[in-house]
Amino acid sequence: MRPAVLNPLFAPLRSLSGIGPKMAPLYDKLLAPQSAEARIIDLLFHLPNGAVDRRVKSKIADSVPGELGTFEVRVVAHKAGPPGRAKSPYRVLVEDDTGDITLTWFNVGRVRMEAMLPIGEIRYVSGVIELWDGHRQMVHPERVLDAAGLARQPAFEPTYGLTAGLYPRALVKASEAALQKLPDLAEWIDPALIAREKWPRFTDAIRTLHRPASLADVAPLSLHRVRLAYDELLAGQLALLLMRARMKREMGATRLGDGHLVKAMLAALPFTLTDGQEQALSDIKRDLASPERMLRLLQGDVGSGKTVVALMAMTMAVEAGWQSALMAPTEILARQHYERLKPLADQAGITIALLTGRDKGAARAQTLAGLADGTISIAIGTHALFQETVSFHRLGLAVIDEQHRFGVHQRLALSKKGEAVDVLVMTATPIPRTLVLTYFGDMDVSIIREKPAGRKPIETRTIALERLDEVANGLERVLTSGQRAYWICPIVEESEDLDLAAAQERFESLQKLYESKVGLVHGQMKGPDKDAAMADFVAGRTSILVATTVVEVGVDVPEATIMIIEHAERFGLSQLHQLRGRVGRGAERSNCILLFGNVGEVGRARLETMRSTNDGFEIAEQDLRLRGEGDILGTRQSGMPGFRLSVPEKHGELLVIARDDAKNLLARDPHLESERGIAARTLLYLFERDEAIRLIRAG
Ligand code: ADP
Ligand code: MG
């Protein structure tokens, strides 16, 4: 249960005085777009993005036009517009001993203005001065205060990210109220680390950020910010390590055979393994042989040959007397894997079967029976493989292909399908190191860096959409030379129907040029139709395949040498790289054409990156910089925990420290029972990683 000391922080924000039924929904929208109702903690974790200096620093004559300033002035004169014309401005002339400013308001009443700015009095006005006809003017000053008001106002006022209808001042006030609820919490960070880094306490850090005493306090790398980022990262690392400890604890089996099937399988392969593949396999072999459970992430760029590594790993498990399963993210990929692996498995004498959501009736029943009685050794499928109704005789290894959206929960769910199943996750996109630690910190990592020899580089060009017809006509060449082309249609925000319409339209326009040589595949097609369209393309009955992003991952057609992506600016970098990876798999030179529409700065940077490099790791790092982690990992869709206080690309070094700190703490206190351990539990609750606490059990 959550420690009672935290309860005030998890109370709804609307319980604060000053946040009424009108404003509450705005806060919900700003702070808790997914979970409906914002809580006090959400506001406290909504850190300022900067601060405004409200001190009186200069005389009017020294003011810089366009910059915000606060001035001490004497009120000289009022000048209202002609009566009855509400739209005309109300002006007040103010001065100091160096110059004057005209303050201007629209839609205000004389009575209120005269009360606020009595002639002859001293006032403090804050706002941006602009030059108008050579004269200083301030339109709608942000603040007009008397001396007492100025004394009450903080010298530095935090500024926050906002949403329409919420005003900066409201947020400042609300965060003040929220700070009142902040309890003092026992320290969970290693005291030596605190001393070395000179970090403030958690509560001090939060308080200072919302009530900064200088502009430096709110800077991204201020001690206060860094401390909070560290807290969040530490919570994440603790959660992952607890999870890892739990999964490892469940182990018993060593899975190692005599090598005869592995030998047969190697003989069946039409090529020899690359060094990277060999290395990954020896990592996996070691994991399988050890009594500890395998939790391994296999990273490799598109086309680096991860599938074969999966096949060999599954063969090892089968040889040791266990079943293996390979899960692909889509039906098309599952089918493709099956079709490629079946002949090899047949040669090696291993039974292999396909199971997807589409298999029904007698065939499905037969496959289920085979999995349950163990006559099927390798199962290939979609997530249907791990549904309730499927039971395995003796599942020993699960391989998850091309899957970022495979979160901690799914990893746990897998354990239910067998006795401490060994797990190998293969990622389609190389993941920057910091993100690996953040999201896969519970796993060991193997990386395949090189691609099989003899691959030709892919040449990438960016072309304006206006020249689409030219590009379409240019495909003539492809048809005559027996090569294939993909034509990827743009994704339209939030509407599969619109996606489809765009693909349909492109299909029809290309058909006018190339008739029956054009195929179409999209996400809403019925399974068998999809298969047929893919099969036509693989066999060369069609040469141009118009597709939505269903071909994004994994599909392998060596004859395909051209990848055209329409509205490339709408895709993420990693996604573009994945798509491009569909070509350049054969001996021929390949081309990728990125057709772009209106591009902003980020879009341009993305396209430029694609043009300049083929290195997936470099692209992933760029993607992280340009778009943020959520898009790379698909965390937004998957409900993986997001990060609010830390930014992987800024706080990467902290992550490594957090990792070690978490490791040391758990080594000394695996059940989090010491004084610091109990504080660490509070930390896990604070960052809502408390599911990890349930994983702590004696044993
Ligand atoms: P990815 O890592 O993107 O999943 P695949 O496993 O689909 O890559 O492999 C890409 C292509 O490379 C496939 O056609 C596969 O048969 C081929 N391949 C894999 N390993 C080798 C190798 N060692 N030598 C030659 N070709 C290989
Ligand atoms: Mg693959």
What residue ranges define each of the domains in the chain, with the CATH number in brackets?
4-52+159-219 (no CATH), 55-153 (2.40.50.140), 260-448 (3.40.50.300), 459-613 (3.40.50.300)
pLDDT band, very low/low/confident/very high, at 436 (cuts 50, 70, 90): confident
pLDDT (tens digit per residue) in 227-265 = 999 999 999 899 888 887 877 766 667 888 899 999 999
pLDDT at residue 699 greater than cutoff 60: no
pLDDT (tens digit per residue) in 28-87 = 988 887 667 899 999 999 999 899 898 888 899 999 898 889 999 999 999 987 776 657
**What pTM value is reported for the model?**
0.70
Ligand 1, pocket-test mutation among 281, 308, 552, most atoms within 8 A of CB: 308
The residue to which tokens 């900067």 are assigned: 50
Q: Do the beta carbons of residue 128 and residue 137 sit within 8 Å?
A: no
For ligand 1, residues with CB inside 6 Å are 271, 273-274, 277, 300, 302-308, 452, 554, 556, 585
Q: What is the DSSP letter of 397?
A: E
Ligand 1, pocket-test mutation among 269, 271, 314, 555, most atoms within 8 A of CB: 271
| 129 three-class SS | coil
Measure the CA dihedral 29/30/35/39, to 10°: -120
Q: Do the beta carbons of residue 168 and residue 49 sit within 8 Å?
A: no
Residue 149, CA distances (Å) to 13, 123, 337, 432 in order: 28, 10, 72, 50
Ligand 1, pocket-test mutation among 304, 335, 450, 590, most atoms within 8 A of CB: 304
Ligand 1, pocket-test mutation among 272, 556, 617, most atoms within 8 A of CB: 556
- Mean per-residue pLDDT over the chain, rounded: 86
Cα 186 to ligand 1 centre (Å): 53
Cα 556 to ligand 1 centre (Å): 9
pLDDT value of position 552:
52
Give me the residues near ligand 2 (ion), CB cutoff below 5 Å.
307, 554
Q: Tell me the ligand closest to 307's alpha carbon.
A: 1
Q: What is the DSSP letter of 191?
A: H
Of all atoms in ligand 1, which is nearest to the CA of residue 401? 4
Q: What is the DSSP letter of 612?
A: H
Cα 553 to ligand 2 centre (Å): 7
Residue 157, CA distances (Å) to 37, 48, 153, 210, 382 in order: 26, 9, 8, 8, 53
pLDDT at residue 451 greater than cutoff 60: yes
pLDDT value of position 640:
41
Q: Tell me the ligand closest to 585's alpha carbon.
A: 1
- Residue type at 127? G
CA dist 269 and 271 (Å) reads 5
The residue to which tokens 């060094």 are assigned: 275
pLDDT value of position 507:
93
Of all atoms in ligand 1, which is nearest to the CA of residue 273? 23
Q: Do the beta carbons of residue 355 and residue 573 sit within 8 Å?
A: no
Which residue's alpha carbon is nearest to atom 10 within ligand 1?
303
